[in-house]
Amino acid sequence: MTLSTPASTTDPRPAALAAPIIEIQGLVKRYKDFTAVKGIDLDVRTGEIFGILGPNGAGKTTTLEMIEGLRTPDEGTIRVAGLDAVADNDKVRSIIGVQLQSTALFPYLSARELVELFAAFYEVSNPAERTGELLKLVNLEEKAGSRIEELSGGQQQRLSIALALVNSPKITFLDEPTTGLDPQARRNLWQTILDVRAEGTTVVLTTHYMEEAEVLCDRIAVMDSGRVIACDTPEGLIRALPQDAMVSATIASGDPATLSEADITAIPGVTQTTITRAAVPPTISAQTSDVQSTLVGLLQLAEQRNLTLGELTSTRASLEDVFLSLTGRSYEHQDDSPSENAETDGKKKRRGRRG
Amino acid sequence: MRSFIAMVVANLKMTIRNKQALFWNLAFPAIFILMFGAVFSNTGLNQFTVGIAGDESHFRTAVTDAMTDSEIFDVNQGTTDQEMDALKNDDRDAVLVFPAEGSDQPVEMYTSESGGPNGQIAVGTIRSVVMEVAGQESGITIDQQQITTIGATYIDWFIPGILGMSLMNSGIIGIATAFVSFREKGILRRIKVTPFALWKFILARIVAALVLSLVTSGILIGLGWVVWDLTIRGNPLLIVGSLIAVSMSMLAIGYAVAAVSRNTETAASYANLITFPMMFLSGVFFPLGSMPNWLQPLINIMPLKYGVNALREPMLNGKGIDAIWQDLLILAVIFVVCMAFAIRYFKWDATTR
């Protein structure tokens, strides 16, 4: 993963132990044919960007919608800024902002009209001024007069985020905010989300993109099949892995037959290895817990065997490896259509966009 | 209150900017008014079949002669019973019953309730003949109460029906498809996570639809007046009241359709399934009396039948609330029942959970 983290340069992440603003205990949600959320405990801290990561059908959206008050939990408690999410839902609604998975925008209105309408819903005191601020924040000032139908997918997503901020909420919930966007639009939206947090809003988002969670989130809850299987900072999750990097090299010249897997495994730090001799050029890859020793050892080995290595790279372990290590399954790269591709691992049979 | 007004205004904008809705609610009925008006205003008056009955008198003879001389009347004479039977069988457009010579009883005029345009126009034409003859005779009075319609034209009969059709289309098709598409797009759930209450959201849509209904009706009436010289006889306030009652009952049917429709396509087909027969079985285009007897039970369950009557009686015949209170009551019941149904089966979500 070579991407730099914008967060690390633009704004300092909040202190590790800020007060929790959302406290979830023993949360369960059952549907007729299956249990979507199987008893989860979570704390979200004030001022952080908290990510819920998992494949489709993991229970991310159901969890989010229970916090927002769109669904009623079957068991467990949710406290939002000290309020009970179920009993005090009316009060909760006025202090949170929500972006749903579908963009859910009224048709035939302009971007400005729509934001002003939502400002009226919250009885915001200076709707025109607030609308201007928000359109600027999400970089839609030039599109203020355009109808919803004329906006691109990314612009509609940014407008949805503006609507989720109209009431200057304490917490804003973003459900898969970048799904369906092209890479450039996705990066623009990441910056918008970082700007939102910089204004002091706690952000809770779901995503099925590993990269997104790694770049944006202060802490991540990894969900799978209705459970939270890990919850930590991205670095913490990766540190907990037995290996922390992948080293790979191509063999530019020399006979790969002189090299066995056992030779590689003997190098300090290597936990696992594969040599693909049939590839052109042949490649070596190794998981390691000690990048430096492994690189040195590999170069020495090549020297001894008269091999020339090309394209020597080391890649830091990613959340993808975390998911693999926690579930024993690889994290399929999902495409952007959330409803149709949830069953790729063959273990689960689910319908719909339960997230 | 500010949020409510903002939602009403947003609804008005959304409806006006929806070109498809604008066509069905405004252009479509306007085309009918122009087209049917042109067809029927050029054919002029049909021949009217008139029955003359009652006691012999100089006045009766004078009226009979005047009508027989005129090309447009087919005059029949018989006993009162015979002529009234003929009227009931739709063999007469109107029957005149004359009092005895020297009596101070008025001339009574009967028309079939189901007479439609022909009957209505007959009334006006017959009246003008009777009044002309009466002007030459002395001591003759005509029962003004019996001769209710004064020079009605086809367009006077037609436009109240077209207003009903327009309110039906905007109410049932407009609400059902718009509301279901809001649900499908997740807009209803989006509203649910704001402090704006659902009842305000629904009421705002109703208020906006009523405002647009009145404006649309005003435009269509204006068109009829400018192009075809439409005459409205009843109390304008009562007519506005009828327009509101018709519109609200149709909106409620639209909400009920929305409640049972899973997606926009099913909403559109249910709405069309309901509005299509209503368009032809509610007296919008054809007088209900001209429909075969076996259809009458079906006609009587068409909500728009009562709506058209509530509009036509005051607009065409200048009738007061006493003539249409039953229609208004039925429309109110339809509103209450359909709204209760819509609330009972209301869904926030496109899925059934």
DSSP B1-38: -HHHHHHHHHHHHHHHH-HHHHIIIIIHHHHHHHHHHH
Q: What is the DSSP letter of B173?
A: I
Judge whether A121 and B197 are in contact, CB under 8 Å.
no
Residue A298 in tokens:
């590999």
Residues A92, A97, A99, A100, Cα dihedral to 10°: 10
Cβ of B6 within 8 Å of Cβ of A102? The answer is: no
Q: In terms of CA atoms, which chain B residue is nearest residue A165?
A: B194
Kindly determine whether residue A106 and residue B14, on different chains, have CB atoms separated by under 8 Å. yes
pLDDT at site B126:
78
More confidently predicted of B53 and A350: B53
Instruction: Work out the angle at residue A324's Cα, subtended by the Cα atoms of residues A323 and A327, and round it to the nearest 5 degrees.
Output: 75
What ipTM is given for this predicted complex? 0.74
**Which CA distances in Å does A5 have to A49, A134, A206, A217?**
14, 24, 18, 10
Beta-carbon separation of A94 and B7 below 8 A: no
Q: Which of B56-70, B90-104, B149-163 has the highest mean pLDDT?
A: B56-70
A258: enclosing H helix or E strand: none
Looking at the complex, report in whole angstroms how far the Cα of residue B316 sits from the nearest Cα belonging to chain A.
38
pLDDT at B211: 95
How high is the pLDDT of residue A354?
A: 39
How much is the mean pLDDT over chain A? 82
Residue pLDDT, tens place only, A160-194: 989 999 999 999 999 988 887 788 888 888 998 99
For B139, other C-beta atoms within 10 Å of its C-beta total 9
Q: What is the per-residue pLDDT for A339?
A: 38
> Who wins on pLDDT, A41 or A254?
A41
Q: What is the pLDDT of residue B136?
A: 61
For residue A12, name the pLDDT band (cuts at 50, 70, 90).
Answer: very low
CA distance A32 to chain B (A): 9
Quote the tokens at residue B118.
């022909």
Nearest by CB: B192 against A31, A70, A109: A70
pLDDT, mean of residues A50-76: 90
pLDDT > 90: percent of chain B:
40
Mutate to test the interface with B, among A99, A106, A131, A149 (most CBs of B within 10 A): A106
Looking at per-residue pLDDT, the higher value among A70 and A256 belongs to A70
Contact A98 B190 (CB under 8 A): yes
SS3 content of chain B, % helix, strand, coil (to 5): 70, 5, 25
Q: Considering only the top CATH level, what class is A245-316? A: alpha beta
For Cα atoms B210, B211, B214, give the angle at the middle one, nearest 5 degrees. 85
- Strands (E) in chain A, as ranges, are 20-30, 35-45, 49-53, 75-80, 83-84, 96-99, 171-175, 202-207, 219-224, 227-232, 245-253, 270-276, 283-288, 308-316
**Which residues, 6+ apart, have CB-to-CB distance to B215 below 8 Å?**
none
Smallest Cβ–Cβ distance between A117 and the set B6, B181, B185 belongs to B6
Contact A123 B353 (CB under 8 A): no
Contacts of B14 in chain A (CB under 8 A): 106-109
A171 alpha carbon, distance to own chain's centre: 17
Residue A331: the pLDDT is: 65
* pLDDT level of residue B119 (50, 70, 90 thresholds): low
- Laid out side by side, the sheet with A35-45 consists of A35-45, A20-30, A75-80, A83-84
What is the pairing mode between strands A308-316 and A245-253? antiparallel
Residue A208 has pLDDT above 90, yes or no: no
Whether the ω angle into residue A281 lies within 30 degrees of 0, i.e. cis, is yes
On the question of pLDDT at B93 being above 70, the answer is yes
B-chain residues within 8 Å CB-CB of A70? 189, 192-193, 348
- Of the candidates A56, A336, A333, the residue with the CA atom closest to the CA atom of residue A182: A336
- Chain B residues touching residue A108 (CB < 8 angstroms): 13-14, 17-18
In degrees rounded to 5, what are phi and psi of residue A19? -65, 140
Contact B186 A96 (CB under 8 A): no
The top-level CATH class assigned to A16-239 is alpha beta
Average pLDDT over residues A311-324: 79
Residue A4 in this model has a pLDDT that exceeds 70 = no
Chain B residues whose CB is inside 8 A of the A31 CB are: 353
Q: What is the pLDDT of residue B113?
A: 58
Q: Look at B353 and A90 and tell me if their CB atoms are within 8 Å.
A: no
Domains in chain B, CATH or no CATH each: 2-39+153-344 (no CATH), 45-136 (3.40.1710.10)
Chain B nearest C-alpha distance from A84 (Å): 15
Q: How many residues belong to chain B? A: 353
Model pLDDT, residue B96: 86
> Using CA atoms, how far apart are residues B134 and B141, in angstroms rounded to an integer?
8
- Contacts (Cβ under 8 Å, ≥6 apart) of A75: A26, A27, A28, A39
CATH 3.30.70.100 occupies which residues in chain A? 245-316
Contacts of A310 (CB under 8 A, 6+ apart): A249, A250, A251, A252, A281
**Contact yes or no for A69/A89 (Cβ under 8 A):** yes
To the nearest whole angstrom, how far is the Cα of B162 from the nearest Cα of chain A?
28
- Using alpha carbons, list the distances in angstroms from residue B18 to A57, A107, A150, B15, B27: 37, 9, 14, 5, 13
Model confidence pLDDT, tens digit, residues A213-231? 888 999 999 998 899 988 9
Residue A90 with chain B: CB contacts under 8 Å: 195
Specify the pLDDT at position A192. Answer: 87
Mean pLDDT of A32-56: 90
Do B186 and A101 make contact, defined as CB atoms within 8 angstroms? yes
CA-to-CA distance for B213 and B308, rounded, in angstroms?
15
Would the CB atoms of B14 and A100 count as touching at under 8 Å? no
Asked if A120 and B17 come within 8 Å (Cβ–Cβ), the reply is no
CA distances from B14 to A160, B17, B267 (A): 18, 5, 19
Ranking A268-277, B161-170, B306-315 by mean pLDDT, the lowest is A268-277
Q: How far is B215 from chain A (nearest CA, A)?
A: 20
- Put simply, the answer to whether A104 touches B353 (Cβ < 8 Å) is no
- For A286-295, B3-12, B206-215, which range has the lowest pLDDT when averaged over its residues? A286-295
CA-nearest of B192, B185, B260, B217 to A108 is B185
pLDDT tens digits, one per residue of B236-285: 999 999 999 999 999 999 999 999 998 889 999 999 999 999 998 988 88
Q: What is the pLDDT of residue B352?
A: 45
- Choose among A137, A88, A141: nearest CA to A110: A141
At residue B97, the pLDDT reads: 86
The 3-state DSSP class for residue A76 equals strand
- Answer whether residue A337 shows pLDDT above 60: no
Domain with CATH 3.40.50.300 in chain A: 16-239
Q: Which residues of B touch A (CB under 8 A)?
A: 2-3, 5-7, 10, 13-14, 17-18, 181-182, 185-187, 189-196, 348, 351, 353
- Could you tell me which of A346, A235, A240, A249 has the C-alpha nearest to residue A305? A249
Instruction: Name chain A contacts of B186, Cβ cutoff 8 Å.
Output: 100-104
**Between chains, do A109 and B196 touch, taking CB under 8 Å as contact?**
no
Q: What is the mean pLDDT of chain B?
A: 84
B13/A104 Cβ within 8 A: no
